[in-house]
Amino acid sequence: MNILLANMPINFNKRENLEPPLGISYIGAVLRDEGHSIFLKDYEIENFSEGEIDRFIEDKAIDIVGISFRTASYRSAKIFTQSLNRSKYKIKVIAGGHHATAFSKETLQDLALDVIVRGEGEYTAIQLVNALAGGKSLEAIKGITYNDKGKIIYNQDSPQIIELDKLPFPARDMLPYDSYTLATIITSRGCPFSCIYCDKGISTKKVQFRSEKNIIAEIESITKQFKKHRLYIVDDHFFLKKDRTHAILDRIISMNIDIKWVCQARADGVDEAILVKAKKSGCEQIMFGLETGDEMELRNIKKQSTLAQAERAIALTKKAGIKARTNFMLGFPFSTHESTKNTIKFAKKIESDIVRFFAVTPLPNTELWDSIYGRDADISAVNWGNFDFYNPNFETKELTREDISLYVLAGYWHVLKKKFVLETTVFLLPGLAKLVCKVIKTGRLRGNISLYFPAAINLIRDTLPPILKKGPISSLKLLRSAMRLEKKIR
């Protein structure tokens, strides 16, 4: 069969994310191995229009369209499926991903889909597509919810994929890889922790690991075949099993593989020895989801780590010569003015190289979602367009939505203002001179500016968009209110 697999962005035609998607790449690889003709479209970087997709479906004689989306990209998924539903071509439309897994019945109806694949999709997709190709019943296929002549059928869950090494490498050759700044790779699936904001619908608590040999083979494929030497390791916690991580890093070092890489980690999961080795193997940056700098909030989100561990992890990471990025969330249901200020003050205290503040966003299939909306919430009236980690979705006993938005802006200004002033005054001319030399050498401006003006780029990139969304007068009022609030954070 001719199958189009499409990755949905938060917003069409804006190019906000330049990381290649792994979901549709894995599905495309297994279906291609089954003999189907596969096409991939990543609308994070490709432009979308109804006319374009109609022409593509006709030109390629597409039989099935599969879409992958998150809660934050639900709005785009709806626009896309409405376009397909208006099409004159008779095609089957299938969806997968975290959101579709959490609300399969509701999503099936709202988007007028034929089938939803729940959980890990590789082996389920093979069975489903082969059944559709042969005109067979879907009743025996585990892990799907489907529409059978107007009746929604919810089949039992599919088993977790245990032997990850048996999966083919993602079909990177089907994506416009030259358009991406780096390559993505996953070396394990799952996370054993129980943070209240994390969805375990696909990435379960039981972790499955790929072998070091399999991982190294894929890295070599990325560097040699696709000429990408920057990797984003998207595991929930790359340092979870340290002996395994040491073995992977040892191979990269001994084989002299030319890569630079970034990953995610927990504050309690790193130590000096592994950080030194990570740096030697090419690690450029580690992203720590600290989420809060308040002890009460830390207990309530069930992070199972301490602020002392967080502070130590950032210090050790920077000592090893690796950039430390920290992510914080403001506005939990139990947050107060005091706890929110504590988080911002802690973010300043630890002096990470990059800091990000987000509004708490309750994702489906999480304890946080259940505490706010309840397990049996009516989601038909939910505005999924606000689930983007920037727009507050609810108020706390002390904090209004406006308060949370202001704290996000005030947080950036509180942490970065001194560095911002230095970079745009004292270090401006030397920084510009170095930047010009770097651009001449690499032929690229994007990605190089942050090397010499990190605080300025951090501040502008993360605060300007919400400010510019408002009119001139409203923007000035918002900025003034945020700066007034920042002065109270002492």
Tokens of 91: 């095609």
Helices 401-423 and 454-468, interaxial angle, to 10°? 140
* Separation CA 84–CA 281 (nearest Å): 46
- Indicate left, alpha or beta for 372 from its phi (over 0: left) and psi (-120 to 50: alpha): alpha
pLDDT of residue 16: 74
- Going from the C-alpha of 179 to that of each of 44, 46, 76, 117, 176, the distances in angstroms are 11, 10, 21, 29, 6
Which neighbouring-strand residues pair with 232?
184, 262
Listed in sequence order, the residues at least 6 apart from 245 whose beta carbon sits closer than 8 Å to its beta carbon are 238, 239, 274
pLDDT of residue 446: 75
* Separation CA 89–CA 489 (nearest Å): 58
Single-letter code of the amino acid located at 443 = G
pLDDT of residue 158: 95
DSSP letter string over 165-181? GGSPPP-GGGS-GGG-S
Query: Three-class SS of residue 51?
Result: helix
* Separation CA 353–CA 450 (nearest Å): 11
pLDDT of residue 126: 97
Side-chain half-sphere CA neighbours of 240 within 13 A: 20
Question: Rounded to a whole number, what is the distance in angstroms from the first to the last CA of the chain?
Answer: 63
Q: Right CATH number for 2-154 from 3.90.650.10, 3.40.50.720, 3.40.50.280, 3.40.190.10?
A: 3.40.50.280
Same fold for the domain at 2-154 and the one at 166-476?
Answer: no
Which neighbouring-strand residues pair with 131?
none
Cβ atoms of 122 and 166 within 8 Å: the answer is: no
- Which parts of 143-254 fold into alpha helices (H)? 212-225, 242-254
Where does residue 111 rank: exposed (0-12), middle (13-18), buried (19+ CB within 10 A)? buried
Q: Provide the pairing of β-strand 260-265 with 283-291.
A: parallel
* Separation CA 112–CA 107 (nearest Å): 8
* Full pLDDT tens readout for the chain, 490 residues: 999 999 999 999 887 778 999 999 999 999 999 999 999 999 999 999 989 999 999 999 999 999 999 999 999 999 999 999 888 888 999 999 999 999 999 999 999 999 999 999 999 999 999 999 999 999 999 999 999 988 999 999 999 999 999 999 999 999 999 999 899 999 999 999 999 999 877 777 899 999 999 999 999 999 999 999 999 999 999 999 999 999 999 999 999 999 999 999 999 999 999 999 999 999 999 999 999 999 999 999 999 999 999 999 999 999 999 999 999 999 999 999 999 999 999 999 999 999 999 999 999 889 999 999 887 778 877 888 888 888 898 999 999 999 999 999 999 999 999 999 999 999 999 999 999 998 898 887 877 898 899 999 999 999 988 787 777 888 888 889 999 999 999 8
Which neighbouring-strand residues pair with 231?
183, 261
pTM metric for this prediction:
0.93
Single-letter code of the amino acid located at 424 = T
pLDDT of residue 89: 82
* Separation CA 203–CA 440 (nearest Å): 43
Tokens of 245: 């991580």
Domain boundaries, the chain: 2-154, 166-476
Cβ atoms of 252 and 206 within 8 Å: the answer is: no
Query: Three-class SS of residue 389?
Result: coil
Q: Give just the sign of the alpha carbon dihedral 294, 295, 296, 297.
A: positive
Neighbouring C-beta atoms of residue 148, cutoff 10 Å: 12
Nearest to 28 by CA among 74, 65, 69: 65
Q: Right CATH number for 166-476 from 1.20.1260.10, 2.60.40.1260, 3.80.30.20, 1.20.58.1610?
A: 3.80.30.20
pLDDT of residue 377: 78
* Separation CA 116–CA 137 (nearest Å): 15
